[in-house]
A and B are shown apart, each in its own frame.
Chain A
Amino acid sequence: MARYDRAITVFSPDGHLFQVEYALEAVRKGNAAVGVRGTDIVVLGVEKKSAVKLQDSRSVRKIVSLDDHIALACAGLKADARVLINRARIECQSHRLTVEDPVTVEYITRYIAGLQQKYTQSGGVRPFGLSTLIVGFDPYTSVPSLYQTDPSGTFSAWKANATGRNSNSMREFLEKNYKETSGHETIKLAIRALLEVSFCFSYVITAIVT
């Protein structure tokens, strides 16, 4: 029987994991996504190309909910995203079942990042080719959170971040213009960041979690 124990992601002589870095390249080619955290709101935005005229745009969900209080947007291989999102949704429900409490944003981010890391250290598999932006409010609190994960499996919390195509310019814009905002101001900031990089024939979809 074929044994899937030959690793695909191995170290290079100078300490790089090339498969992970190539995965990050795939992310850089994906759609732009931005997330901005305010004092009472957190906003996700993704760029959407409207060039495909015959496609039913409602079937392409770029921002998905993992649970009632958590939403996720990603940049990169959308097929990989589907798999990751399904596992995350199951984990959200499993957590609700075992401790009778909804997940915290940090918990589910840690789970997704752990999953991404596992696929960089297992035999016969390649890393997930996507970075995710996860937003939500922890249960019983009104504190918003924004986290980002990447193909290497690292995650961290952000006040504002962008990923995907032209993420560097978006991040520069956010760094220059970020300040603690709330409500509509935060939404405007996220949209302005997206408008920096996407052309006028694209439109944005925002998810607002309050």
Chain B
Amino acid sequence: MKLDTTGMESAAPVWGSHNELVDGFSAAPSFELPNTTDFDGFQKEAIQMVKPAKGTTTLAFIFKEGVMVAADSRASMGGYISSQSVKKIIEINPYMLGTMAGGAADCQFWHRNLGTKCRLHELANKRRISVTGASKLLANILYSYRGMGLSVGTMIAGWDETGPGLYYVDNEGGRLKGMRFSVGSGSPYAYGVLDNGYRYDMSVEEAAELARRAIYHATFRDGASGGVASVYYVGPNGWKKLSGDDVGELHYRYYPVMPSTVEQEMVEVTGA
């Protein structure tokens, strides 16, 4: 399968001399292979290095009114929290969102690349690309880079002619259509809350609250998730950011501190 090389052309031409006829042509773009004796082993190591680090919680679900997308905002490098304010919900275009899990750079770059391709499709075909089509474009790109160490676990959520759409796409090139997804190290906790509270016919506010709670509970138990719980809603007119609440504040909102009545008072000891 042809590798997608938009944005990755090498600057210098491969042939040495500056031939006037071919200046302006660039050679077929290619990656430089790393200088190791065992390339396959190197690839495996590269993948293992990135694999466990999908330290995040993102979720998305389809309901009657549209799609709800939510994510935390913590970035961790092993045990070090490198940032508490990462934007994990990427705006591909005004009616499509992507979530970030895995390598931040990989997700950001390929989502931007996908946005470019979606826009080109619109210009060429005078109609918006469907969520199905956009997710397929991304999945095919990721498949062509299979085994090269990309780490992307993303959900593409949007609203097109056929209604709300939600797809899960990952770096293996897998692509799944579904109604509810959660991706990341905090996803088991988020699934617990999400699956328990989910109903198809919720209102936008109820769905937003469910999403917020699910992210909060995941950040409570998972060390690699935290920061701010962002909630986005995708409706027929495009996406809209509904809220971004610090999970610490959410904790005290859900479990406010009750002043407990003191049973035994400490008595001042006087004398001696």
Contact = CB atoms under 8 A, between A and B. Distances in A.
Chain B CB within 10 A, most for which of A101, A104, A107:
A101
B129 interface: yes
Contacts of A54: none
A12 interface: no
The 4 closest A-B CB pairs, nearest first, are A99-B133, A100-B132, A100-B136, A98-B136
Contacts of A104: 125, 127
Contacts of A140: 161-162
A111 B136 CA distance: 21
Contacts of B136: 98-100
B118 to A, nearest CB: 11
Given A104-B125, A107-B125, A99 B161 contact: no
Contact of A98 (B127, B133, B161, B162): B133
Contacts of B140: 98
Nearest to B127: A104
Contacts of B121: 99
Contacts, number: 25
A100 B125 contact: no
B50 interface: no
A98 B137 contact: yes
B113 interface: no
A77 B191 CA distance: 62
B130 A100 contact: yes
A87 B80 CA distance: 55
Interface in B3-55: none
A52 to B, nearest CB: 42
Interface in B104-145: 121, 125-127, 129-130, 132-133, 136-137, 140
Nearest to B129: A99
Contacts of A107: 125
Nearest to A110: B124
A137 to B, nearest CB: 15
Interface in B134-165: 136-137, 140, 161-162
A100 B134 CA distance: 10
Contacts of B129: 99
Contacts of A100: 130, 132-133, 136
A108 B231 CA distance: 40
17 contacts: A98-B136, A98-B137, A98-B140, A99-B121, A99-B129, A99-B133, A99-B137, A100-B130, A100-B132, A100-B136, A101-B133, A104-B125, A106-B125, A106-B126, A107-B125, A140-B161, A140-B162
A140 B137 CA distance: 21
A173 to B, nearest CB: 32
A38 B121 CA distance: 29
A101 B126 CA distance: 15
Contacts of A99: 121, 129-130, 132-133, 136-137
Nearest to A97: B136
Interface in A90-127: 98-101, 104, 106-107
B185 to A, nearest CB: 31
B143 to A, nearest CB: 12
B134 to A, nearest CB: 8
Chain B CB within 10 A, most for which of A98, A100, A106:
A100
A38 to B, nearest CB: 23
Given A106-B125, A107-B125, 11 more contacts: A98-B133, A98-B137, A99-B121, A99-B130, A99-B133, A100-B132, A100-B133, A101-B130, A101-B133, A140-B161, A140-B162
